[in-house]
Structure 1
Amino acid sequence: MSKKVLVIGSINKDLVVTAPRFPKEGETILGNSFYTGNGGKGANQACAIGKLGGDVSILGAVGDDSFAKDLCNALISNNVNTDNLIVKNNVSTGIAVITVTEYGANNIIVAQGANALITKDDIKEELISLYDIIVIQLEIPLEIAEYAAYIAKKLGKTVVLNPSPAVKLSRDFLSYADILIPNETEIDIIGGIDYAFECGVKNIILTLGANGCDFINKEGRKHFDAYKVNVVDTTAAGDSFLGGVVRMIADNKSIEEAIIFATKVSNITVTRKGAIDSIPTYDEVVSKKWCQIPM
C-alpha cells in the first residue's frame, strides 16, 4: 500500500512569456507568445505525485479571486486532495511571472500573495499525523516551513525538503530533513554538502540540470546521468523530479530506484511547455522507450 503524502507549499498562477532571450537590465524586448498556467512549487510537486499515481494532499493558501478556482480545479484534476486548501480573504492568489527563452531556460519572479499569509495555526499536528511523507519547499514564509518540518519530525514522519528559493537555513531546520533535494546554487547558499550533513541531513539528492544528479549519504556519492532530450521548457524540471522521487519512496522503493524513475519523469517534463501541464503520468513514464546511452 502506497504511503500517504502531504505537500506543504505554494500555489501560484503562472503568467508566462516566451522570448528569444532574457532582457538585459533596463532593456525592453519583444516576446514571442504569452500563456497562463497553474503552478507554484507546492502545487507542481503535489500534481507530479498525483499524476504519477500517488496518494497526495496539499496544504496551502489561495486568495479569494478567480485564479484560486482555476488552481483548485487543476489540483483536483491531477488527483490531488484539496480538503486542506486554505482561502485567505482580501488578498490575491500567488502569482509567478515567468520568462522562457527559445532554448528552454527560464527565470521567475514570484509575488507570494496568499502564500505569505500561512500561519502556524494552519499547520496542525492532527493533520500532519495522518500522513507518512511530508514535502516542504520555501515559497511560503520560512518560519512556517521550518515549523512544519519540526512538527513532522516530532511525529516521526519522513521529511523531504526542497530548499527553493535558495536561502540560508538554520541548523535545526536542516536537521529535520531526511531527504534534501537542492540544486547546485541552493546547496552553496545553504553552506555546502558537508555542512548539511553536519546539521543532521541524512540523504542529499543534488540536481545538476542536464548533467543529471548526485546521490550523497554517509556511504558515499553516486552519479546518475540524465537522458538526451530536446529541451523546450525547464520550468517544472525540478518539481517533477522531486515528485518522481517521492512517488517511488511512497512505494517503499530505494532512493536509487526513485532517482532513476524521477530522472525519466523530469526528462519528459522538459520536452513540454508549462508547469503542471508538462508533467507526465505514470503510464507515460513506464511506457516510453529510453535511450540506453545517457548524456
Structure 2
Amino acid sequence: MSKNILVIGSINKDLVINTPRFPKEGETILGNNFSTSNGGKGANQACAIGKLGGKVGMLGAIGNDNFGKDLSNALSSNNVNIDNLLIKDNISTGIAVITVTEDGANHIIVAQGANALITKDDIKEDVISSFDIIVMQLEIPLEIAKYAAATAKKLGKTVVLNPSPAVKLDREFLSCVDILIPNETEIDIIGGIDYVLECGVKNIILTLGADGCDFITKKERKHFNAYKVNVVDTTAAGDSFLGGVVRMIADDKTMEEAIEFATKVSNITVTRKGAIDSIPTYNEVIESY
C-alpha cells in the first residue's frame, strides 16, 4: 500500500513575465507577455505528487483573498487533500514574481505573505502522526521548518527536505533529514556534502540541471543522466523532480528507481510553460518513456 505524504510548505500565486533576456541592474526592457499561475514550492511539490498518483496532503497558509481561493481550488483539483490548509486573515497570499527568458532560464522573487505566519501551533503532532513521509522546503520561516522536521523525526517519519531558498543549516536540523534534495548552489550554502553527511543525512540527491543528478551517501556517489529535451520553462523542474522521487519511495521503490522515474517527470515538465500546470500525470510519464 502506498504511504501517506504530507507536504509542509509554501503556497504562492505566480506572476510571470516572459522576456528575451534578464535586464541589467537599473535597466528597463520590454517583456513579451504576462500570465498568472498557481505555485509556491510547497504547492508545486504537493501537486506533483498528487498528479503522479500519490496520496498527499498539504499543510500551508494562504490569505483570505482571491489568490488564496484560486490556490485552494488548484490543490484540490490536483488530488491534494486540503484539510490542513490554513487561512490567515489580514495578509495576502504569497506572491512570486517570475521572469522567464527565451531559453527557459528564470529569476524568481518571493513575497512570503501568509507563508510567513505559519506558527509552531499550526504544526500539530496528531496531524503529522497520520502521515508516513513529510516533505518540506524553506519558503516558510526557518524555525518552523526546523520544528516540523524535529516533530516528524520524533514520530518516526521519513523527512524529505528541499533546502530552497538555501541558508546555512545547523546540525540539529540536518540530523532530522533522511533525504536532502539540493542543487549545486544550495549544497554549498548549506555547508557542503561532507558536512551534510556528517550531520546525519542518509541520502543526498544533488540535482545538476541539464546534467542530471548525483545520488550520494557515505558509501557511494552515483550519477544519473538527464534526457535531451527542448527546454521551454524550468520553473517547476526541481519541484516536479522531488515529487517524482517522493511518489516512488512512497511505493517502497529503491532510490535508484525513484531517481530514474523523477528524471522522466522533470524532463517532461521543462518542455511546458508554467508551474503546476507543467507537471505531468503518472500516465503521461509512463506513456512518454
Q: Secondary structure at the match of 1:160?
A: strand
Deviations for 1:203-257, whole angstroms, at most 9, x for unmatched residues? Answer: 0000000000000012210000000000000000000000000000000000110
> Structure 2 stretches of 5 or more lacking a match?
none
Report the equivalent of 1:292: none
Map of 1:122 onto structure 2: 122
1:262 match: 262
Deviation at 1:141, TM superposition (A): 0.1
| In 2, Cα distance between equivalents of 1:85 and 1:66 | 15
- Aligned residue in 1 for 2:23: 23
| Residues 2-41 of structure 1 aligned to structure 2 (within 5 Å) | 2-41=2-41
Cα distance in 1 for partners of 2:170, 2:111 equals 24
Secondary structure class of the residue paired with 2:60: strand
Deviation of 1:81 after TM superposition, in Å, equals: 0.3
1:223 equivalenced with 2:217 (yes/no): no
Alignment of 1:222-241 (within 5 A): 222-241=222-241
* Mapped partners of 2:176, 2:4: distance in 1: 19
Q: In the alignment, does 2:195 pair up with 1:195?
A: yes
Tell me if 1:58 matches 2:55. Answer: no
Distance 1:107 1:137 in 2: 18
- What is the CA–CA distance in structure 2 between the aligned matches of 1:188 and 1:156, rounded to whole Å? 28
> Who is 2:107 aligned against?
107
Taking the aligned partners of 1:191 and 1:217, their CA distance within structure 2 comes to 16
* Partners of 1:203 and 1:194 in 2: CA distance: 12
The equivalent residue for 1:91 is: 91
Superposed displacement of residue 21, structure 1 = 0.4
TM-score if structure 2 supplies the norm length?
Answer: 1.00
Which letter maps to 2:252?
N
AA matched with 2:191: G
Q: Secondary structure at the match of 2:61?
A: strand
SS of 1:87's equivalent?
strand
How many residues get paired? 289
RMSD: 0.4
Distance of 1:60 and 1:210 partners within structure 2: 31
Partner of 1:49: 49
Aligned-pair CA distance for 1:170: 1.1
Correspondence for 2:152:
152
Say whether 1:286 aligns with 2:286: yes
Alpha-carbon distance between aligned partners in 2 of 1:256 and 1:56, rounded to the nearest angstrom: 22
Residue of structure 1 in register with 2:205 after alignment: 205
- Deviation, 1:156, is 0.3
3-state SS of 2:280 partner? coil
Name the amino acid aligned to 1:183.
N
Cα-to-partner distance string for 1:79-111 (whole Å, 9 max, x where unaligned): 000000000000000000000000000010000
- Output the CA distance in 1 between the equivalents of 2:105 and 2:250: 31
Matched residue of 2:30: which SS? coil
Q: What is the SS of the residue equivalent to 1:5? A: strand
- In 1, distance between residues paired with 2:32 and 2:238? 25
Aligned residue identity for 2:214 = D
Structure-1-length-normalised TM-score: 0.98
Q: Tell me, in whole angstroms, the C-alpha distance in 2 between the residues paired with 1:180 and 1:70.
A: 30
Q: Distance in 2 between matches of 1:126 and 1:74?
A: 26
4+ residue stretches of structure 1 with deviation over 3 A? none
Q: Which amino acid aligns with 2:78?
A: N
> Which residue identity is paired with 1:227?
Y
Helix, strand or coil for the counterpart of 1:233? coil
Matched, 1:169 2:169: yes
